[in-house]
Amino acid sequence: MAASAGLAPGWLRGARRVPSPNCDARPSGAPARLLVLHAISLPRGVYQGDAIERLFTNRLDPAAHAAFRSLEGLKVSSHFLIRRSGALLQFVPLGARAWHAGASGWRGRGRCNDFSVGVELEGTDDSAFEDAQYARLAALVRSLQAALPLRAVAAHSDIAPGRKTDPGAGFDWLRWLRALARG
């Protein structure tokens, strides 16, 4: 990974590190070529709490909220989370495989976790995202493109159709592409 992109052993400079145990080694010969966009809030529609961090670090108390009961024992992570404020958190180094995509496929290839970077946007699949999130996502993708052989961006719903709906209709792809082009 290129040091010029601010990556030091897979950690992006400027992101708050919250290491997740929910990751493992990428298969040999499987560099990150795909960026997968997700949306998450815990509980649904509630923002700014620490529940996402707790979920990704296996510290979420299923008794703390009725919505958390179905998440008990779940082992998931993502490389990045972009908060509503634009704050950037990183859970998994880029050289490792985060467990964000689940059963998935992209352009005839299964197991998207093997060759992707997962980016969670704090939000829901049916609400709008914030200006700060679009700006941070554009900056993040530019940094990742400088360091990784990224070739495509997909929604979680694209790689797991019928199973996932995020980031959903609230994500304005054209707006994000314009922000990316301005950089």
Active-site residue 122, yes or no?
A: no
CA 110, CA 23: separation in Å to the nearest integer? 18
Catalytic residue among 53, 120, 122, 130: 120
Yes or no: say if 12 and 143 are a contact pair by the CB < 8 Å rule. yes
CA 8, CA 1: separation in Å to the nearest integer? 8
Yes or no: say if 147 and 104 are a contact pair by the CB < 8 Å rule. no
Work out whether the CA dihedral 10, 12, 17, 18 comes out positive or negative: negative
Catalytic residues, by residue number, are: 120
